[in-house]
């Protein structure tokens, strides 16, 4: 599954860009929330998620929460109508309670790890999450280069997940393009977040088709 990150879309044209991607079969959008504290950048607030769900009730809103003020920020995005919220393991000392909170509110729950966090730190949570996001850039900005060591981290996460007997999808986020998407697919990733590649490097439909082609050729 490709989950386009709207961070690098043209905000003045966001609705049209989302529609263009949806017409290519995209059913989930990745919404990056940056708080200016956990990461040195600011992005959207809950109102954007609310507007997204009002305008596109059949599309999934996946919120990537880059904040360590979860007490305030996370419930606001639940209330706004997010379908899935993924928060950073580095951002909280009570990941268990937040996973439970999300499930109790009927959302899917994901855990995110930044490039320097050891992959085995997610082990205690593998039976409670709906997906695991491995960052392939340092969180905070779109348009960065893919960090190569992410390949081994995806493989390691895939092995860990296999030992649980659960089907936890692995998502990868940062620097995904037609070269890197093949490598992460082969390493065991299932969900690909791509921002600037889809919204900044050419016509949206063409960019999505190029990614899809590589993904399906890797899965044959």
User: What positions carry a catalytic annotation?
Assistant: 32, 173
196, 204, 207, 208: residue in contact with ligand 5SP (rule CB under 6 A)? 196
Between 9 and 159, name the residue whose CB sits nearer to ligand 5SP: 9
Return the half-sphere exposure (C-beta side, CA atoms, 13 A cut-off) of residue 77. 34
193, 208, 214, 215: residue in contact with ligand 5SP (rule CB under 6 A)? 193
Token pair 């697919």: residue: 185
* Minimum separation from the CB atom of position 163 to ligand 5SP (A): 28
Q: Is residue 197 within the footprint of ligand 5SP (CB under 6 A)? A: yes
> Which residues from 56-85 bind ligand 5SP, rule CB under 6 A?
64
- Cα 114–chain centre separation: 12
Cα separation, 30 vs 7, in Å, equals: 8
Which residues in 66-99 are b (16+ Cβ under 10 Å) and which e?
Answer: bbbebeebbeebbebbbbbbbbbbbbbeebeebb
Q: Is residue 88 within the footprint of Co ion (CB under 5 A)? A: no
Instruction: Mark 129-158 with x for binding to ligand 5SP (rule: CB under 6 A) and - for no binding.
Output: --------x-xxxxxx--------------
Which residues in 126-146 are b (16+ Cβ under 10 Å) and which e?
Answer: bebbbbbbbbbbebbbbeeeb
Residue 26 interacts with, from Co ion, ligand 5SP, none (CB under 5-8 Å by kind): none
* Minimum separation from the CB atom of position 133 to ligand 5SP (A): 9
Instruction: Mark 61-80 with x for binding to Co ion (rule: CB under 5 A) and - for no binding.
Output: ---x----------------
Residue 143 interacts with, from ligand 5SP, Co ion, none (CB under 5-8 Å by kind): ligand 5SP
Q: Is residue 173 within the footprint of Co ion (CB under 5 A)? A: yes
Output the residue with the shortest Cβ distance to ligand 5SP: 195
Residue 176 interacts with, from Co ion, ligand 5SP, none (CB under 5-8 Å by kind): ligand 5SP
Report the interface residues with ligand 5SP, using CB under 6 A: 5, 7-8, 30, 32, 64, 137, 139-144, 173-176, 193-197
């Amino acid at each position: 599954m490709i989950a386009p990150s709207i961070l690098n879309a043209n905000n003045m044209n966001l609705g049209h860009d989302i529609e263009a991607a949806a017409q290519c079969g995209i059913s989930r959008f990745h919404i990056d929330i940056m708080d200016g504290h956990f990461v040195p950048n600011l992005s959207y607030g809950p109102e954007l998620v609310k507007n997204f769900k009002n305008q596109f009730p059949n599309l999934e809103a996946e919120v990537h929460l880059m904040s360590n003020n979860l007490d305030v920020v996370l419930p606001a995005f639940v209330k706004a109508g997010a379908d899935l919220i993924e928060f950073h393991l580095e951002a909280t000392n009570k990941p268990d309670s937040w996973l439970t909170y999300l499930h109790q509110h009927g959302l899917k729950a994901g855990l995110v790890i930044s490039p320097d966090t050891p992959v085995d730190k997610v082990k205690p949570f593998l039976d409670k999450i709906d997906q695991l996001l491995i960052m392939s850039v340092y969180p905070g900005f779109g348009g960065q280069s893919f960090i190569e060591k992410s390949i081994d981290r995806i493989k390691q996460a895939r092995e860990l997940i296999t030992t649980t007997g659960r089907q936890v999808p692995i998502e990868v986020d940062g620097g995904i393009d037609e070269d890197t998407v093949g490598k992460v697919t082969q390493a065991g990733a299932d969900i690909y977040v791509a921002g600037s590649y889809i919204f900044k490097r050419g016509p949206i439909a063409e960019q999505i088709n190029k990614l899809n082609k590589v993904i399906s050729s890797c899965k044959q």
